[in-house]
Copies of this chain bind each other. A is one copy, B any other.
Amino acid sequence: MAVYTHLTAAEIAEFLDAYDVGDLRSAKGIAEGVSNSNWLIETERAHASQRFILTVFEARTEADDLPYFLSLLDHLAAKGLPVPRTIHTRDGALMREARGKPCALIEFLPGVSVDEPEPAQARAVGIALADLHLAAEDFPQSRASSLSLPICVQMLRDNAAKFDEIDPQLDTIIPDCGAGVLEHWPVDLPAGTIHSDLFPDNVLSVGDRVTGLIDFYFACSGILAYDLAVTHAAWSFDLADNAFRPDVGHALIEGYESCRPLSDAERGALPLLAQGACLRFVATRVEDWFATPVDGLVRRKNPMQFAHRLAFYRAQGEAAFTL
């Protein structure tokens, strides 16, 4: 939620020169995304204006992976999904540099992110996620997750000695740093290309209609039902008191299954997959907790939010997913 790289208007205009998008009319640094710098750009050509998002990829996004992310946007947009197209340069390139950093120009999509999702919105997101899984079936590229469960378990082990500094309950909830979840992790579920970070922040809507799935910079190859479990864990809890919202969770799964029904094996794995999803967010937030100075530019997210959700999924088992 910050602009890390300040490009001047002249630098942005020079950047746009490589694209067939008209002349720069407006550029506003926007507070969107936690890892990259984003501008909302407006251009004009023949009295028609167009809007784009210009993203400067900061160190945290691996530059080698950018062609994967940007090609995936193109693949999904071409199939009619509400995903921002990557704008190509006149030479057909997916990205170019500004200030020595890789940058991409992508389509601007309307819509707002909901903060407190209602069932109708969750259902629409379930449909959109299933659409995404189906549309990506023939996407030819692959990418290993940089936050796979073994990696997350290791991240937690590296910080386990300091869990008490965050919250005395953290060690009680994951005394094994997730080893138990890892041990039973399914290996034979349907896999494909997944978003893997579909938080409410990353979904734009107008009313109950999904107008944008954004921020694909954690997309990777993975278990499809894991993506649904991530989305379930991200959407189905009250922000204020972290209480489970069964109506929202059920609507999400019902929407998903209306496009892509789950197999019995997938359905049976959801409780464990959801615990794995929670472990990942606990692990990354624990790392960020110790890496971020208290007065820093980035607000720390509390790892306990997802630790408590993990405990919920472990306690509830299949009941959390029963329609």
Residues of A within 8 A of B (CB): 1-3, 8-10, 12-13, 23-32, 40, 42, 44, 110-116, 204, 206, 293, 295-297
Contact = CB atoms under 8 A, between A and B. Distances in A.
A113 B30 contact: no
Contacts of A40: 28, 30, 40
Contact of A29 (B30, B206, B296): B30
B297 A25 contact: no
Contact of A31 (B24, B30, B206): B30
Nearest to A8: B115
Given A30-B31, A44-B110, A293-B295, 7 more contacts: A25-B111, A25-B206, A26-B112, A27-B112, A29-B30, A30-B30, A40-B40
Given A40-B40, A206-B25, A113 B9 contact: yes
Nearest to A9: B112
In the complex, the count of this chain's copies comes to 2
Contacts of A1: 3, 29
Contact of A110 (B25, B113, B293, B297): B25
A26 B116 contact: no
A29 B27 contact: no
Contacts of A115: 8-10
A296 B294 CA distance: 10
B24 A112 contact: yes
A112 B1 CA distance: 22
Contacts of A12: 112
Contact of A8 (B13, B110, B116, B295): B116
A44 B40 CA distance: 18
